[in-house]
Structure 1
Amino acid sequence: MAETFVLVHGAWHGAWCWAAVVNQLEKLGDKAYAVDLPGHGMNQADRSKVTLQNYVDSVAEFIERHQLKDVVLAGHSLGGLTIPGVAAKIPSRIKRVVWVTALVALDGQPIVDPVTSPIAQGADSLPERSISIEMMGKEFVDGLSNDMAPAMKEYVLAAVGPQPIAPMMTPVAMAPYFATGIPSSYIVCEDDQTPVAGAPNWHPYFSSRLNNPTLKFVKSGHEVMFTHPVECAQALHELAHGE
């Protein structure tokens, strides 16, 4: 049976980052859609005014406009903050939610402290209240791209755009998502070396915040969509089928 996927990108990225994964899912007989969040890619918006609720509303509106049902909703990295809100808003259309080496917030808490975080303070001084990936520092960029060939790293760093800071500083409501009872999954990228505050690894630091998630392991760094799109698509496909 063909599955329907809606793929949500992470910080600095856009729908373009999922191109190879979409292609692979279609080869497996599935339908896949990648969306641009407001302020990213082709979805132009005033980045200084973009909020997490804007992210949620835009994805939910996309799913409803295309009349999609039984959707496997997947979010990469920062996309993990958007997908629970979408599922809670339109639960009847969502079959499963998949965090792809993604952030999982604690209920009612933001990922970035708006008072103490240097990231937030840096963005507040900029007109668009947005940060570039370079502002995260060499350690972060090197961890993000640890398994990329030099040419691929150069391409990705050239392609990414500014990231609005407000969605990172917004408390995330996880309880409404958990109340839906929609199954959760987490794709663990075993070689993800992107620095995480409070833990050395994204799994189990973030994955353990979900309720009994099914896990899939991929031998990949953080940017799995670029370095291992075939394995990423296969993991998504199997999770959709309950494997």
Structure 2
Amino acid sequence: MSGDPAPLLLLHGFWHGSWCWSEVLPRLAAAGRRAAAVDMAGHGLRARRPAFARRSPADAQAQATEVSPVADVDLDHAGDLLIAQIQQLGGGRPVVVVAHSAGGFVLTRAAQQAPELIAHAVYLAAFMPASGVPGIAYIQSPENAGELIGPSLRADPAAVGALRLDTSSSDADYQAQLRQAFYGDVDPDAADAAIGLLSPDAPAAIVTATTTLTSDGWGSVPRTYVTCEQDMAIRPTLQRRFIAEADAAYPGNPTTVVALDASHSPFLSMPERVADLVRTVT
């Protein structure tokens, strides 16, 4: 009905899938809120695993050199898919889109291309790039110093076309690093289960592309940024930079900011809080 709140679409970040919202969705349903989680291009049921990942024991040389089967997935593909998913969920109505981590690149592209489809953009510890700035520039910026994703990569993204993790590694120190990067405040058993669900490859072409933003495109969409103060994947200083850049570019449409004392994945560590937060945006 027209008086109902806008549907919620939940978009995950790199290496994850729609599964990561499994603790949030039932809480939204219990509150009577229509919501759906979707897979980003190259992820979840749309992921394609490299050949080395299907062999045992692992081939370290192949891991470092095999071109990723998702190397052809770029920001154009990801943005177009998200727009289609928004249209399907909304059925002609604008939708609230919640993006986590690298899902922010895709949300930004979709909001620029089809701002009329998005009632509100929520960036949950997500990349919120400025106009014309590629994701890689933020990843390597001083504000992101100390992050643990870069040290966890197991191949040169320029060579294999992907940001590659060794999700099946038996190295205890490496597994601990992944837990700290993504799930620092998540129950250890749940964190280990989540690592087992990660795709090894995330398309590098998403972080090397840029989106040109305009005041009547992305700049016109109401937005909320949710910072995570324990984040070791996107450091809190970088999260605050995103907010400052957006507000400087579009001062007439300032960012609403909510702070969580959480690691990079509050949808697993505090799903009730995340559900309450996103359902009250509009």
Relative to the length of structure 1, the TM-score reads 0.84
Matches within 5 A, 1:144-163: 144-161=182-199, 162-163=201-202
Identity of aligned residues (%): 22
With over 3 angstroms needed to count, the CA separation of the structure-2 counterparts of 1:133 and 1:216, relative to structure 1, is: farther
2:32 match: secondary structure = coil
Deviation of 1:122 after TM superposition, in Å, equals 0.6
Note the C-alpha offset of 1:195: 5.2
Q: Deviations over 1:118-140 (max 9, x none)?
A: 769712333x63412669x7656
Aligned to 2:244: 208
1:30 matched to 2:53? The reply is no
Question: What is the alpha-carbon distance in structure 2 between the residues aligned to residue 122 and residue 157 of structure 1?
Answer: 21
Deviation at 1:188, TM superposition (A): 1.9
Larger Rg: 2
Match of 1:122 in 2: 156
Aligned with 1:42: secondary structure? Answer: helix
Match of 1:233 in 2: 275
Residues 36 and 43 in structure 1, CA contact (< 8 A), matched pair in contact too:
yes
Residues 1:204 and 1:177: Cα distance change in structure 2 (over 3 Å): farther
After TM superposition, the structure 1 = structure 2 runs for residues 49-128 of structure 1, keeping only pairs within 5 Å, are 49-66=72-89, 67-113=91-137, 122-126=156-160
**Whole-Å separation in 2 of the counterparts to 1:19 and 1:222:** 16
Superimposed CA distance per residue, residues 40-84 of structure 1 (whole angstroms, 9 cap, x where no aligned partner): 111256402000111100010122234151211110010111112
Q: CA deviation at 1:8?
A: 1.1
In structure 2, relative to structure 1, the CA distance for the partners of 1:179 and 1:86 (3 Å cut) is closer
Shift of 1:236: 0.6
Unaligned runs of 5+ in 2: 49-68, 142-149, 248-253
Q: Report SS of the residue matched to 1:105.
A: coil
TM-score, structure 2 length as denominator? Answer: 0.73
Q: Is the 8 A contact 2:125 2:228 kept in 1?
A: yes
Question: What corresponds to 1:41 in structure 2?
Answer: 44
Q: How many residues align?
A: 233
The 8 Å contact of residues 56 and 86 in structure 1, kept in 2 or not, is answered as yes
Find the residue that maps to 2:96 and give its secondary structure.
strand
Q: Contact (CA 8 Å) 2:115, 2:220: kept in 1 or not? A: no
Q: Which runs of 5+ in 1 are unaligned?
A: none
Work out whether 1:12 is the aligned partner of 2:48: no
SS of match in other structure, 2:264: coil
Residue deviations 1:97-124 (CA, integer Å, cap 9, x gap): 11011111121011115xx997697123
CA distance in 2, matches of 1:55, 1:171: 13
CA distance in 1, matches of 2:157, 2:130: 23
Q: Bigger CA drift: 48-57 or 102-111?
A: 102-111
- Structure 1 residue 182 displacement after superposition: 1.3
- Equivalent residues of 1:104, 1:209 under 8 A apart: no
Distance (Å, rounded) in 1 between the aligned partners of 2:239 and 2:207: 20
Quote the offset at 1:35 in angstroms.
1.1
Counterpart residue number, 2:207: 168
Shift of 1:31: 0.8
User: What RMSD in Å do the two structures reach over aligned CA positions?
Assistant: 2.7
Helix, strand or coil: the match of 1:157? helix
- Deviation of 1:2 after TM superposition, in Å, equals 3.4
